[in-house]
Chain A
Amino acid sequence: MKKTFFRPLAVSAVTALAFSLSLSSCSNEGESNDNDSLPQDTAVTQDSTPTVQQYAQVPSPGEMFTFMKMVGAQNAKPEVLNPTANQTKYESKKDRAVNFGIYSADLLYCSTFKLPQALKYFATVKTMGDKLQVTTSITPADEDRINKNIGNSDSLVAVSNEKYYAAFANLEANQRGTDLSLMLAGGWVESLYLMTTMVKDFEKDNKAVARIGEQKYSLDNLVEYMKKYESDEDVNTVLKQMNELKTLFDDIPAANDAGTMNSKNGKRVLGGGGSKVTMTKEQFERIKAKLTEIRNDFITV
């Protein structure tokens, strides 16, 4: 009787133990791969106060180009993009991750400003994604959609954004924070570089210049995000470059007084801060020069 009783119990106990151990190892996977897990900044407080985790978010290239489109920026041209032929040169993980971000930004630039090169950059993003082993979820049907919508910016942007978010989510879900850091840095630098190429006359294009200056805030967040992975040599190298750029952006005065949330015509409005972010022509030229230097370093092997 005892033998019959204990055998199935022993089996189920071993099974449960094995299952629990496997779950535990999955949840600890991020911890064992310290460089690739998504570390969380946690303030250890007394039991009565909630512990706080902190995340710094960065806008996507598509969102950054939307800012430019909204202020009527024109002069979009394919000559400023990273040539698709360069993709064969990117062998190291760092070059692939950074340029995956760069080509994603180029695709969104083509989509936003209706450049016919969108299809070519779509294919390049897929290839780079494959090399980096990132799921971009790009299918032949997507390529067909791009082809059919070359003149339709809204549809092109929707497809391109969808693929960008899929790649982002894939890297995040698989706790590839290092690669995601590099992709974000590449995408952000390329986006801002392309934005600066759209400013032909500093005075006349002042709204576009203001949008560029506002990116000081997203750069703060990007640097904060990357700092979590600075123990990785590649991230550390790129982070140093971002900090050089940040030093120039920090020279731009921003509104120091507090924001306000008021009601206007029954709607909440976030405003306040006496002055907006403004930069001089000299500051703009310095930032543009540094951006170009960093961007060219990224795309040149």
Chain B
Amino acid sequence: MTIKALFLALTAALAAPALSAQDCAGFHKKAGCSQASEDGFIYNSQSKSGLFAPGTASNLKVVFYEGFDYSISLCGDKAIGAEMAFKLTDTKTGEILYDNATDSKAQHMEFSCETTRPVTITVTVPGSAPAGDKKNVKPQNGACVGVLIEQKPSAKVGF
């Protein structure tokens, strides 16, 4: 490669746009993120998007309320590639309530809530964590991930 070509390649690489956390804001609201199985589900404000580096995880502490059905959909940038891992744990006891590793790595799940519980949703992006400073995701290493939570009142059954 000539010096000129090398220099131009370096310039292009330096000038390439990189993602910032702000770019990911509202990612979970993008069309196609919701995989709710039926109509009637509406947006739940505990949803969140963020910038993730490969191999990193995020805990989202939420509360699910008695009398509601919930739909949880994951959506990620194409850069992520493989499916994300996610599980639900009881925030107080640490009991694992759901793990998509035992559900064919599903990127969506739904359930009906019969008892109000604080729950932690853990999402892990596949890959190896970058070396060095783990506290801050460098824009060039990151990809957007959205956790969309939707809810609707549970159907009443019986007389």
Contact = CB atoms under 8 A, between A and B. Distances in A.
A169 B97 CA distance: 30
Contact of B112 (A19, A256, A268): A268
Interface stretch (A110-118, A216-224, A237-245, A281-289): A216-224
Interface string A265-280: 0011111110011000
B65 A12 contact: no
A147 interface: no
Interface stretch (A51-59, A127-135, A227-235): A51-59
Contacts of B46: 57-59
Interface residues of A, number: 68
State the majority secondary structure of interface residues on B: mixed
Given A50-B55, A67-B65, A268 B136 contact: no
Nearest to A28: B136
A9 B151 CA distance: 56
A256 B90 CA distance: 11
11 contacts: A5-B4, A53-B58, A70-B153, A175-B22, A221-B61, A255-B115, A259-B117, A259-B119, A261-B88, A268-B111, A276-B115
Contacts of A221: 61-63, 118
Interface of A: 5, 9, 12-13, 15-17, 19-20, 23, 26-27, 30-31, 38, 40, 42, 44-45, 47, 50-60, 62-63, 67, 70, 161, 164-165, 168-169, 172-175, 214, 217-218, 220-221, 224, 254-261, 264, 267-273, 276-277
Per CB-CB distance, the 3 closest pairs between chain A and chain B, nearest first, are A258-B95, A268-B111, A57-B46
B111 A224 contact: no
Contact of B58 (A27, A54, A258, A272): A54
A273 B117 CA distance: 9
A267 B135 contact: no
B92 A260 contact: no
Contact of A272 (B21, B65, B115, B136): B115
A36 to B, nearest CB: 13
B82 interface: no
Contacts of A50: 55-57, 124-125, 129
Given A27-B20, A255-B115, A270-B113, A20 B14 contact: yes
Contacts of B80: none
